[in-house]
Structures are given as structure tokens and as C-alpha cells.
Amino acid sequence: MINKNLINLNIDNDNLYYYYKIQKIPNSLINLTYLSLYNCYKIKEIPNSLINLTYLSLYDCYKIKEIPNSLINLQTLNINNCININNIPETLFNLQTLELINCININNIPETLFNLQTLELINCININNIPETLFNLQTLELRNCININNIPKTFINLKNLIIFKCNNIIKIPNTFISLQTLYLDFYNINNIPKTFINLEELIIDHCNNIKKIPNNLINLKKLKINYCCNLIKIPNTLINLKKLEINWCNIRKIPKTLINLKKLYIEDLKCYTTEIPNTLINLKIIKHISI
């Protein structure tokens, strides 16, 4: 018997006996604010009565088919490998974090999630659009979302953008002026917008169409470049750069103006002629070089 005054409920593999035994979440748990279900293959539904729920995480709950419309106070929703869920309710007005992983039957994100700050979509192959109405979004992570071909330019508050193997995305809007972290791992993007002047961390991986890094990224502190064969130069204006990592690129020269550099990492057989300024060598910042 579960105490009806329970606030937090976490059912997972830590207690196998209890976890195999439970088949239903009681309707009486109206005070519940936190619910996490891991591998609960016997549970078929989330009760409509859990109106005070603010956190809901579902992992490998194959028999659950929907998220109740009544969860209007929900702030965090994580769904992983729940293949029978095909819809996110439009009534989740207070939702701030939405994480969908391997949700192959969900095909859209509601336009009504106005307070959403973090959106993570991983292997959501049937989602082809991100609503323009997510004005408060600060973190957007897209991984293997093969049908998304556009990122709305309305996300002016975006601070963190991660795009991994979304090959239909060929352009990043230049309106993300608040962006601080940018991670790109795909082949089709052509350039990094010059408007990202607040960028502090830039990671570009397997972006063979990128030929240069903008000169005006003066706030950049970390730069990592992997397998970008057409990128041959690092701007000498990155005076606040503290960490530089170069792997398998054609970059031939490290600017001597990087006076604040604390760590330099080079591993690239193509870079055997890379010139490292004496000023940097004398600072003893080189952590690893493999040529």
C-alpha cells in the first residue's frame, strides 16, 4: 500500500521485488509532485488525478500511451523509449524542460509551450518542425532528428545550441545574439553567423563546408575543431581564448595573439607543419601534441 500523502515516487531497478510487483499508480496520490518510472512495463497509464505533479520521467514504459492533459503544473517531462506515446498535451503551459529520446511516434511539439526553456530531441525521427512560439527557449539540443530542416529565428533568448547529425539543417539563424555555447556535428552547414558575438564555447566536428571562423568572436573562451578539412585558419582576434583543441584538420598556424591561452591540444597527422609561436611554447601551455 502506497501512502496517499506521498510527494516523491521513484520506481526503478533499485528495488526489483517492488518494481515487478507494481502494476498501477494509485489515483489517490494527489499530493505527488515527483514521479519517475524506470522499466515499469506493467504500468499502463498515468492517473489524471496527479494535478500537482511538477516532474515526470518515463523510461522504457512501453504500455503507457499518453500523458494526461490534466498535468497543468508539470515543469519537467522526460520520455525515453516509450514507443507508444504519440502526443505531448497542449495544456502543459508551465513546462520548462522537455526531453524526448527515441520517441519515434511523436511527430510534433505543441505551440503552446510558451514557458519552455530546455528542449532536447534525440532520435525523434518523425518530428519535422520546431514551433516558432517557444520564445523563452534557452537550450536546444537536436540529435539524429533527420526530418528537421529548420530552426526558427524567433529563439532570440537561446544560449546553448547543440546539433548532432541533423543533416537537413543547412543554416543557423543569425538572430541568436545571446548564444553562449554552440556545438555542431554534421556536414552541411556552410558558416557560423558573425552575430554570435557572445559566444564563449564553440565545438565544430565533421563540418567540412565551414571554411572560416568569424573574426568578431572576441568572447570565445573554448574552441574545439575536429575533422574540418576546409578550415585552415584560426582568427588572431580571439584574444580571450583559454582552451584550443585541434584534431585532424588542415590548420597550419596558431596565432601568437592568443595570449590568454591556458591549454593547447593538437592531434592531427595533417598538421605536422603547424606553426606554434614561441610565445606560447614558453608559456608551457601545450598539453598534448601528436604529429
Report pLDDT for 13.
Answer: 53
Q: What's the pLDDT band for 18 if we cut at 50, 70, 90?
A: low
Q: What count of Cα atoms within 13 Å lies in the side-chain half-sphere of residue 69?
A: 4
> How does pLDDT run across 105-116, given as a tens digit for each residue?
999 999 999 999
The predicted pLDDT at position 4 comes to 79
d(CA 260, CA 257): 9
- C-alpha grid cell for residue 1? 500500500
User: What is the average pLDDT across 215-235?
Assistant: 93
What distance in Å separates the CA atoms of residue 158 and residue 175, rounded to the nearest whole number? 9
Short-list 229, 267, 273, CA closest to 247: 267
**3-state secondary structure (DSSP) of residue 279:** helix
CA–CA separation, 81 and 208 (whole Å): 33
Task: Kindly report the average pLDDT of the chain as a whole number.
Answer: 89
Inform me whether the pLDDT recorded for 213 exceeds 60: yes
247: pLDDT strictly greater than 60: yes
The mean pLDDT of 53-79, rounded to a whole number, is 96
Q: Is the dihedral of CA 106, 109, 115, 119 positive or negative?
A: positive
**pTM for this entry:** 0.92
C-alpha 79/C-alpha 144 separation (Å) is 16
Q: Which residues of 239-271 are buried (b: 16+ CB within 10 A; e: fewer)?
A: eebbbbbbbebbbeebbebbeebeebbbebeeb
pLDDT computed for residue 11 by the predictor: 87
Residue 55 predicted with pLDDT over 90: yes
SS3 278: helix
Rounded to an integer, what distance in angstroms lies between the CA atom of residue 83 and that of residue 93?
24
pLDDT higher for 290 or 42?
A: 42
**pLDDT tier at 283, thresholds 50, 70, 90:** low
Percentage of residues of the chain with pLDDT beyond 90:
70
CA atoms within 13 A of residue 220's CA, in its CB half-sphere: 27
The pLDDT assigned to 146 comes to 92
Would the pLDDT of 236 be above 80?
A: yes
Query: Which pLDDT score is estimated for 15?
Result: 58
What does the pLDDT read at residue 157? 96
pLDDT score recorded for residue 279: 67
Q: Which of 188 and 260 is assigned the larger pLDDT?
A: 260
Going by pLDDT thresholds of 50, 70 and 90, the confidence category of residue 265 is confident
User: Does residue 88 have a pLDDT over 60?
Assistant: yes
Q: Given a cut of 70, is residue 273 above it in pLDDT?
A: no
Region 6-30: mean pLDDT is 77
**pLDDT given at position 101:** 98
pLDDT tens for each residue of 162-181: 999 998 998 899 999 999 99
